[in-house]
Structure 1
Amino acid sequence: MKKLCVVVFLCSTAFAVFPQNSRLDPLIVDDPSRIDIVRDAYGVPHIFAKTDPEVAYGLAWAHAEDDFETLQKAFLASKTMLGQHIGRDGAMVDYIIHLLRLRELVNLNYEKDISPAFKAVLQGYCDGFNAYAYTHPKEVLEKKSLPIIPQDVLTYSVLQLALGCGVEDALRKINNGTMPLVGWEPGGSNAFAFNSKITADGNVYLAINTHHPLEGQVAWYEAHLCSQEGWNIVGSLMPGAPVIIAGINENLGWAHTVNHPDRLDVYQLEMNSDNDLQYKVDNTWYTLEERTVKLKVKMPGFNLHAKKKVYWSIYGPTMITERGVFSIRTTGLMDIRGLEQWYRMNKSGNFSSFKKALKMEAHPSYNIVYGDRYDTIFYICNGKLPLRDPSFNWRETLPGNTLLTLWSRTHPLEDLPQVLNPPSGYVYNTNHSPFHATAPADNISEEGYDPTMGYETHDNNRSLRVMELLQQLPKVSYEDFKRIKYDVQLPQKLAFPVNVDTLFMLNENQHPEYAGLITTLKTWDRKGTTDSRGAALFGIFFYHVAARYQADPTYKAMTKQDCIEALAYMKQYLLSNFGTTDVTLGEYQRLERGNRSIPLPGLPDVLAAMYSTPTENGRVKGTVGDCYIALAKFTKDGPEIESVNCFGASNRKGSPHYDDQMELFQQQKTHRMTLRRDEVYREAKAIYHPEVLSKLPLTARLTKGRR
């Protein structure tokens, strides 16, 4: 009788979460007890199951245990329901999804573009998420958002990839910077791969080192996924992803960095002065497609219901402004298979199968640095780039009155800059030029590449520092490799967007009121260690100059007077907030989570980069930079893997894994990871299954079909 009462209770709470008219596909995972979630000493989930869909189910369940709120926000966005939960900023995201027609893109292409195998993985992930939701009803943010279905997962992934193509920046410019969009595009990253031509022990080394926000919608989550269908990989993923985005399997691994080729075009339409919705293309009048979308916005005490127009031209999403009518076009809005391509990369066994996955050409952007156990290293400035008419200036606003600017085809993978097994024995990228991807003698020339691709050709401080370090090392040991990754020193020749060299040329005798600051900066070793006073001064100086540059991008070099004014600001800042000018970086910059605050190394654009924002009492806290780090050495016995997350495996306050990696991260240390099943189970701190739900009477009442 007691058991029956439990079943009745679970059914009643489930229906309190899922609306009575909810419609689901049949559960693809009918017995979650076959799924093992194995937690290691740091709480990282290792998911073991027979099939890939079961692994995806376990991943969704484990991730929900660690960060259900962030996962829900991802799918609230994909359902255009974020505004009713977080307010105006969420409504702006909802509006963008309507404007870009993301759900329409997914619905139109889901059946034909997504393979049966990956549909099963997506459904398994949705089953796991929905199961967690209906067994934890008090944690559900918006009941009407449930259940989620595969199209929700894909819509959110296309949104992220589109934002990574510059959609956010384009919309801001069109609206004169007045649209308060959510900043979800990551700001940088490093990636390195070395092979036997340079490594001291003959093994291949790979570093995954993205510079993401430390918290929020694109903060990394670490997991180990292992099925009996050939899926066995350790790495990182973002909330809402059912696959590893950057990781290491038994044979190979890869890292991503952000790149900036020209992936997006903005067009100004030639409008009819007598008809606000008509525009002319090659002497033919077209009419903008107009729709009215409904937005629900959470306000104090009530929900505001608003209506807004969205428009579409033959070029794409369109916005009507006081300055004119503009459309945007990007390959980021033309493919829904990005997650499936990552899935194929996850399961690749060698370079040939990995390259085959890349030939799906479903990712509109991101560099790839690759290494494997077979001594292969590879770099590609990946992207889905349009084939354009070279007679137009594609870096400017384009005329939206001719079909000559309406591209439809893209460059094949073979056209993209790439380096395979260079004689130098290494490839790397730090968000700089793809034509500086290895040793100078082995680099590819930018000549011969389509100029409309718009590749960046600059170096940055991190790329210059890599070359400084490698020039000192004829052979690289694994410890050398780690020292390069964790380096916190700026190069001798600085490469910031604003030339700040004048600061280091000032004569302290000519400026006695700032003599101490000038001396500290001139004698500084340019390292961002927590005990460094020069690093603290430079950090304060950097954010002061960066604010001016962001307000005026034409500001390119500091004058002597600019430097004196900056020194006055730095002195006043330190005295006002600390009562002294003798402050270390660790006193100024902190790694903070909950009630914990510890000194944080790193500076903007050093290899172990850290960008910070003000917190209190003049201090700053790290917000973007080094976050999840994974390092691999591919040996004859398989990969040796180590990793660290800036905070921990869980985003739940009160969890022992909410902040248990902070000291490791601060001290530039890691913990060991493994792909070996026997080791995982032997060292496990917890082994359990997702709750068994499919046997409850509820499942019989879930009808077939999709919403």
Structure 2
Amino acid sequence: MKWLKRGAIVLVAVCVLAFAVLATWEPHFASAATPPATRVYKAEIIRDKFGVPHIYGKTDADAAFGVAMAHSQDDFFTLQDVIAMSRGRYGAIAGEDGAKVDYVYHLIDARGTAEREYPKLPADTRELFEAYAAGLNHYAQQHPGEVKLANLFPVSGMDVAAGFALRQPFFFGLDSVIGPLVSGDDLRREHGPDMPGFPRPPLESAPPAEAAPTAAKQAHNLVLPLGEDAEHLGSNAFAVAPEKSGGPTTLISNSHQPLRGGVAWYELVVESGEGWHFAGANFPGSPFPFLGHNETLGWTNTVNTPDMIDIYQLELDETGMRYRLDGEWRDLESRWVTLPVKVGPVVVPIRREVLRSVHGPVIRNDKGAFAVRYGGIGRLEQLDAYYRLNKAKSFAEWEGQIARLAIPSTNFIYADAAGNIAYVYNAAIPARPEGAKADWRSVLPGNRSDLIWNGAVDYAALPKITNPASGWLYNSNNAPFTAAGAGSDLAPDAFAPIMGIELKQTNRSWRAYKLLSAAAVLDRKALEAIKYDTGYEREGYVARLFDALDKLPAEGELAEARDLLASWDFNADGKGKADAIALLIIRDFMSADYGNKPFPDVAEKLAAARDHLMTHFGRLDPPMGELLRLRQGGLDLPLDGGSDTLRASTTWDVDDDGRLSLKHGDSFIQWVEWQPGKPVFSRSVQPFGSASTRPDSPHYNDQMRLFVEHKLKPVHFWRDDVLANASKTVTVTNAR
């Protein structure tokens, strides 16, 4: 029995040792970055009555240091997640979901892109990123108790740049390709029946290829979008010229992003002694705003979905590690990476192989090996382009930066103090050779080098409109061919189908186009009615849904639900008896339409909505405001708007009480006006507050009532204005 007792002791010791190793290996394995020697930075942070930071620095770099410090004061929790993603360590924080992001980080070589391209950026741009990293490091050093992950700090400007390289392709849908390829599912990348050309077929119709002898699904289920699902992306943007507004040039930014997390907006104003003065919003991990305005001009963005991605099926040899190209065999680049996966109190190391061909990253599944190539692959110039856009003083300067196509995608709506308005369908669309005999909408043969394009189409080839006769421009994630009204819109046949420009409309687009076209004057009152419109047009998926509902044979309780929905007035304003049941049903049909998924079963969705309402409310027709809520820190407020209305309440979490807690939709709203002979004036609002992860802050939820009541607060752009409305002023520096 002694040997048994000794064996048990040894087993316990081994288990303790294994636990200790799993609990401590990751920080040592992923040692902290060694940032370059840091200069001394100093910034002044003045917060207005809503806690919005106004950041002043002698130099642009000083201001960028202040941006990192202010954002850390408000949301260091989320910033750490973003930094962990930018270093391939998110799984050590978020477990399996984080490991999915880390796999993509390695797959698309985000770090390698940063290491190759970051040193090529202009010195002042790199200095901006180093200063921002210094701000993050300084805050982490001052607040060690808030740091989630050992050795996450210090970070360098290159680490921050790697985060940009990771996230940029997901705004045009790379996740919708990588996910199905990894899992071996069918691709649903078709742009719908209204797209020119032909949709990509499912992978089953791709030509057969020799299967690799290793596990085909080596990274099964290790893909995660770095934001919301593509079918839930949305935004509205409006620009109105003085002759149409009756006074000011007006720019309305109405981005729809998740209300929390790594791609949620953070509002700020920056100003430096080097001429950088900008009010707008950024995402965690950025030293500059991505949208907003300076003294003379401004812009905002909406997601566009051109065909930016090509897929190639590789022909492998019997080893599974070589692929044929132009009749010759080439070696696949292979490297093994370690993904940290937090499981309870320990972090488990998971090894995965990452493959690459000359086309781009390679994914193997049961159907073969597939390479992916996408617009902007391997580029990082957007870090410089956004910085220059912030400092542009004229339309010519601004357009000069857009024309670089350094920013891979997103529509831009522009306005300025001179009365100019413009729309640019910005996209680094691949310069596919038109003479090649290939179906670019299908899975391409990977054995032809002539199909491996380089670079993007010329800026001159993109859709764009400047100062239309209508006096207005808009985009609501719709085709660029409805943007300015009859007589001012572009013709689809003027653009090559090979570019893959979408032709789809959203309900928001149908509504905006109708309302803008009908308005004689687009003054502030008229624009407010359009921005906060909650109506639906019986078009597209909405028409298809209600046509099916009209034909639906139903009896008993389902018939009652059908009749209630059929009586709906197509307005999600919270006033009608059918608003709640319509809200519950429409989202899934919108999602299917946006994501090119099969049309849902109307009876099934109707029954689910009926059951939800009866279970939680005991009736089919509760007021919609009792169902749809904005919730944070003890505040629980009713909302209006639907999943695809101009007042957007897009997606939500279903809470235990059956209420829908908004998580994605109208987020940062900014309204900018340039009156002739007067300084720029702007207003804004966010759903919660400037410190949305700090429950003890007075700015945790202090904008919620404004948000639900369709109200805006002033943006204190000018220094004397912010000083007159200051609630707190601090000076931050990393000087010892």
Alignment of 1:294-309 (within 5 A): 294-309=338-353
Q: Does residue 583 of the first structure (1) align with residue 653 of the second (2)?
A: no
1:645 to 679, 686, 689: 686
Distance in 2, Cα, partners of 1:300 & 1:439? 56
Distance in 2, Cα, partners of 1:513 & 1:92? 43
Q: Give the direction of change, closer, same or farther, for the CA distance of 1:549–1:361 in structure 2 (3 Å limit).
A: closer
2:662 to 617, 622, 625: 622
Deviation at 1:359, TM superposition (A): 2.5
Mind listing any 5+ residue stretches in structure 1 that lack a counterpart?
1-15, 696-707
Distance in 1, Cα, partners of 2:84 & 2:99? 11
Alignment of 1:69-218 (within 5 A): 69-112=77-120, 114-175=121-182, 176=184, 179-186=221-228, 187-201=233-247, 203-218=248-263
Deviation at 1:660, TM superposition (A): 0.6
Map of 1:476 onto structure 2:
522
Amino acid in structure 2 at the alignment position of 1:23? T
The one-character-per-residue Cα deviations of 1:142-167 (angstroms, maximum 9, x if unpaired) are: 23121110111111011111212322
Quick one: percent identity of the two aligned structures? 31
Moved more, 297-306 or 365-374: 297-306
Moved more, 206-215 or 530-539: 530-539
Amino acid in structure 2 at the alignment position of 1:577? H
1:532 to 576, 589, 601: 576
Amino acid in structure 2 at the alignment position of 1:70? T
Corresponding residue SS for 2:414: strand
The one-character-per-residue Cα deviations of 1:543-602 (angstroms, maximum 9, x if unpaired) are: 4656887999243xx8xxx54554444333221221112311111111112333211111
Distance in 2, Cα, partners of 1:110 & 1:551? 34
Q: Does residue 357 of the first structure (1) align with residue 401 of the second (2)?
A: yes
Q: Give the direction of change, closer, same or farther, for the CA distance of 1:119–1:438 in structure 2 (3 Å limit).
A: same
Amino acid in structure 1 at the alignment position of 2:151? K
Deviation at 1:21, TM superposition (A): 8.4
Equivalent pair of 2:266/2:283 in contact (CA under 8 Å): yes
Q: Does residue 342 of the first structure (1) align with residue 386 of the second (2)?
A: yes
Distance in 1, Cα, partners of 2:280 & 2:132? 17
Map of 2:613 onto structure 1:
574
Distance in 1, Cα, partners of 2:289 & 2:399? 17
1:670 to 708, 712, 733: 712
Alignment of 1:280-429 (within 5 A): 280-390=324-434, 391-429=437-475
Corresponding residue SS for 1:241: coil
Equivalent pair of 2:113/2:165 in contact (CA under 8 Å): no
TM-score (norm 2): 0.87
Q: Give the direction of change, closer, same or farther, for the CA distance of 1:183–1:320 in structure 2 (3 Å limit).
A: closer
Distance in 2, Cα, partners of 1:246 & 1:623? 21
Distance in 1, Cα, partners of 2:518 & 2:486? 15
Aligned residues: CA RMSD: 2.3
1:445 to 491, 496, 505: 491
Amino acid in structure 2 at the alignment position of 1:617? D
Map of 2:647 onto structure 1:
608
Corresponding residue SS for 1:441: coil
Map of 1:679 onto structure 2:
721
Q: Give the direction of change, closer, same or farther, for the CA distance of 1:131–1:418 in structure 2 (3 Å limit).
A: same
Q: Give the direction of change, closer, same or farther, for the CA distance of 1:154–1:505 in structure 2 (3 Å limit).
A: same
Distance in 2, Cα, partners of 1:228 & 1:167? 40
Equivalent pair of 1:241/1:339 in contact (CA under 8 Å): no
Distance in 2, Cα, partners of 1:407 & 1:44? 45
Distance in 2, Cα, partners of 1:395 & 1:613? 35
Equivalent pair of 1:264/1:328 in contact (CA under 8 Å): yes
Q: Does residue 65 of the first structure (1) align with residue 83 of the second (2)?
A: no
The one-character-per-residue Cα deviations of 1:86-107 (angstroms, maximum 9, x if unpaired) are: 2111122112111111111111
The one-character-per-residue Cα deviations of 1:126-184 (angstroms, maximum 9, x if unpaired) are: 11111111011111112312111011111101111121232211111212355253333
Distance in 1, Cα, partners of 2:621 & 2:364? 53
Corresponding residue SS for 2:316: strand
Q: Give the direction of change, closer, same or farther, for the CA distance of 1:514–1:146 in structure 2 (3 Å limit).
A: closer
Corresponding residue SS for 1:276: coil
Distance in 2, Cα, partners of 1:27 & 1:563? 61
Equivalent pair of 1:281/1:402 in contact (CA under 8 Å): yes
Q: Does residue 26 of the first structure (1) align with residue 37 of the second (2)?
A: yes
Distance in 1, Cα, partners of 2:592 & 2:423? 35
TM-score (norm 1): 0.90
Q: Give the direction of change, closer, same or farther, for the CA distance of 1:91–1:405 in structure 2 (3 Å limit).
A: same
Map of 1:241 onto structure 2:
286
Distance in 2, Cα, partners of 1:23 & 1:563? 57
Equivalent pair of 2:408/2:428 in contact (CA under 8 Å): yes
Map of 2:209 onto structure 1:
none
Map of 1:43 onto structure 2:
51
Corresponding residue SS for 1:87: helix
Deviation at 1:345, TM superposition (A): 0.7
Q: Give the direction of change, closer, same or farther, for the CA distance of 1:494–1:268 in structure 2 (3 Å limit).
A: same
Equivalent pair of 2:249/2:415 in contact (CA under 8 Å): yes
Equivalent pair of 2:362/2:372 in contact (CA under 8 Å): yes
Map of 2:316 onto structure 1:
271
Corresponding residue SS for 1:332: coil
Amino acid in structure 2 at the alignment position of 1:170? V
Equivalent pair of 1:165/1:332 in contact (CA under 8 Å): no
Distance in 2, Cα, partners of 1:271 & 1:182? 27
Distance in 2, Cα, partners of 1:672 & 1:474? 28
1:456 to 498, 502, 527: 502
The one-character-per-residue Cα deviations of 1:451-483 (angstroms, maximum 9, x if unpaired) are: 211011122211110122123311111111122
Equivalent pair of 1:171/1:179 in contact (CA under 8 Å): no
1:465 to 508, 511, 520: 511
The one-character-per-residue Cα deviations of 1:300-350 (angstroms, maximum 9, x if unpaired) are: 232211211111101010012111000100123221121221111111111
Deviation at 1:24, TM superposition (A): 3.0
Distance in 2, Cα, partners of 1:183 & 1:21? 26
Map of 1:704 onto structure 2:
none
Distance in 2, Cα, partners of 1:93 & 1:646? 27
Equivalent pair of 1:262/1:453 in contact (CA under 8 Å): yes
Q: Give the direction of change, closer, same or farther, for the CA distance of 1:467–1:627 in structure 2 (3 Å limit).
A: same
Distance in 1, Cα, partners of 2:294 & 2:485? 27
Distance in 1, Cα, partners of 2:95 & 2:62? 35
Aligned pairs, number: 665
Distance in 1, Cα, partners of 2:384 & 2:560? 57
Distance in 1, Cα, partners of 2:175 & 2:556? 46
Alignment of 1:509-528 (within 5 A): 513=557, 517-528=561-572
Distance in 1, Cα, partners of 2:109 & 2:590? 35
Distance in 1, Cα, partners of 2:563 & 2:351? 60
Q: Does residue 487 of the first structure (1) align with residue 533 of the second (2)?
A: yes
Deviation at 1:222, TM superposition (A): 0.2
Deviation at 1:226, TM superposition (A): 0.6
Deviation at 1:197, TM superposition (A): 3.0
Q: Give the direction of change, closer, same or farther, for the CA distance of 1:116–1:541 in structure 2 (3 Å limit).
A: same
Distance in 1, Cα, partners of 2:146 & 2:646? 39
Distance in 1, Cα, partners of 2:442 & 2:180? 12
The one-character-per-residue Cα deviations of 1:521-547 (angstroms, maximum 9, x if unpaired) are: 344332222343322110122246568
The one-character-per-residue Cα deviations of 1:340-371 (angstroms, maximum 9, x if unpaired) are: 21111111111011011112321111000000
Q: Does residue 221 of the first structure (1) align with residue 266 of the second (2)?
A: yes
Q: Give the direction of change, closer, same or farther, for the CA distance of 1:168–1:31 in structure 2 (3 Å limit).
A: closer
